Amino acid sequence: MLHIWHPYPLMKPKKDGWYICTAAHGAGLNTPKVMEVYFRKWDKKWYNPRRQSVFDGYKVYEACRAPIEDNRVFTDSECDRIDILAWRPLPRLYPFGRKRG
């Protein structure tokens, strides 16, 4: 697979894994951002398990609200990404040199 940018709606990854993606609404409305996102093939969705693990491991509440169960948040729009424009595979790591000693 070539390490070039692929447009998302036209070309989808063939296997599960981490990819470098451009999101249309990264740090605000209409502010593009490049980020690492995980692609799940079984439902064809982009997903950020690092961010979702915070919601799974801790009790997260809405901002400026009382910490009661009615105000608890279990996920947000940063976890399940629907605004991906393009993707490419992560670069491979190459061992440069060898161990000495």
- Residues 48-72 pLDDT 10s: 999 999 999 999 998 899 999 889 9
State residue 9's pLDDT score.
Answer: 84
Residue 101 has pLDDT above 60, yes or no: no
Across all residues in the chain, what is the average pLDDT? Answer: 87
Q: Evaluate whether residue 73 is within a structural domain.
A: yes
The answer, yes or no, to whether residue 1 has pLDDT greater than 80, is no
What lies within 8 Å, CB to CB, of 92 at 6+ separation is none
Residue 30: pLDDT band (50, 70, 90) is confident
Number of folded domains that form the chain: 1
Q: pTM score, two decimals?
A: 0.78
Distance CA(65)–CA(46), nearest Å, equals 29
Q: Could you tell me the residue range of the domain that residue 55 belongs to?
A: 6-89
**pLDDT range class, residue 99, cuts 50, 70, 90:** low
Identify whether 59 is part of a domain.
yes
CA nearest to 79, candidates 40, 53, 44 = 53
Which H or E run contains 50? helix 49-57
